[in-house]
Chains A and B, each alone.
Chain A
Amino acid sequence: GEDVEQSLFLSVREGDSSVINCTYTDSSSTYLYWYKQEPGAGLQLLTYIFSNMDMKQDQRLTVLLNKKDKHLSLRIADTQTGDSAIYFCAESRYSSASKIIFGSGTRLSIRP
């Protein structure tokens, strides 16, 4: 079946790197996503990666994909207070016309 798992909480010190991990079970996943949700708001697409890639970098964000282990991670360099949010890992097959399966979300808190 389809399942996406994440740890629920992560606390990092301001200025350090944050690494949020995710595992998924569907080997047919085509697209893997990271979304950010701030309190009371909708989801903001941060980045996505195709399943045939193993890394994608976009400014402070680095996504690593280990397809063999079905493991996805999001690294946020130089974490700032504005990065406090819930981060959702998600996957879908084929196209965005297919449903997206979300993980439970990781709540990232930043300590001074």
Chain B
Amino acid sequence: GAVVSQHPSRVICKSGTSVKIECRSLDFQATTMFWYRQFPKQSLMLMATSNEGSKATYEQGVEKDKFLINHASLTLSTLTVTSAHPEDSSFYICSASITKETQYFGPGTRLLVL
């Protein structure tokens, strides 16, 4: 099946620093990628929809200046958490759209902000 990778898988950073998370579709081109966050024992919440070559569409309540999304190519989208704070600690998962029926998810990135 379709493979989506994320890098890094885990990251620990100090409060106030920025962290970049990469999402790649390895064997297909994805015009649309999605970024989710998942708090412990909770469901996934969509943060933003990323379309190649255009600005991301953010969900209500998600700060676009804090969570910068770049979708520069059909196989790569990046999420940068700027000036991270402990409350940004979470599991960030990306997905890529391959057909109109399905999204394939990456393995997730666990972010811990100290």
Chain A residues engaging chain B, CB cutoff 8 angstroms = 31, 33, 35, 40-45, 48, 50, 88, 94-97, 99-105
Cβ contact within 8 Å between B102 and A42:
no
19 of the cross-chain contacts (CB-CB < 8 Å) are A31-B101, A35-B105, A42-B105, A42-B106, A42-B107, A42-B108, A43-B95, A45-B105, A50-B101, A88-B43, A95-B101, A96-B32, A96-B97, A96-B101, A97-B97, A99-B59, A100-B46, A103-B43, A104-B43
Task: State the Cβ distance, A31 to closest chain B Cβ, in Å.
Answer: 6
Chain B interface size, under 10 / 10 to 19 / 20 to 34 / 35 or more: 20 to 34
Cβ contact within 8 Å between B93 and A43:
yes
Q: How far is the CA of A40 from the CA of B34 in the complex (A)?
A: 19
Asked if B42 CB lies within 8 Å of chain A CBs, one says: yes
Cβ contact within 8 Å between B34 and A95:
no
When distances are taken between beta carbons in the complex, the residues of chain A under 8 Å from B102 are 33, 45, 48, 96
Q: How far is the CA of A103 from the CA of B112 in the complex (A)?
A: 25
Cβ contact within 8 Å between A88 and B97:
no
Main secondary structure of the interface of B (DSSP, over half): strand
Chain B residues engaging chain A, CB cutoff 8 angstroms = 4, 6, 32, 34, 42-46, 49, 59, 93, 95, 97-108, 110
Cβ contact within 8 Å between A97 and B32:
yes
Set A43, A50, A105: member contacting B105, Cβ < 8 A:
A43
Q: How far is the CA of A99 from the CA of B43 in the complex (A)?
A: 14
Cβ contact within 8 Å between A43 and B44:
yes
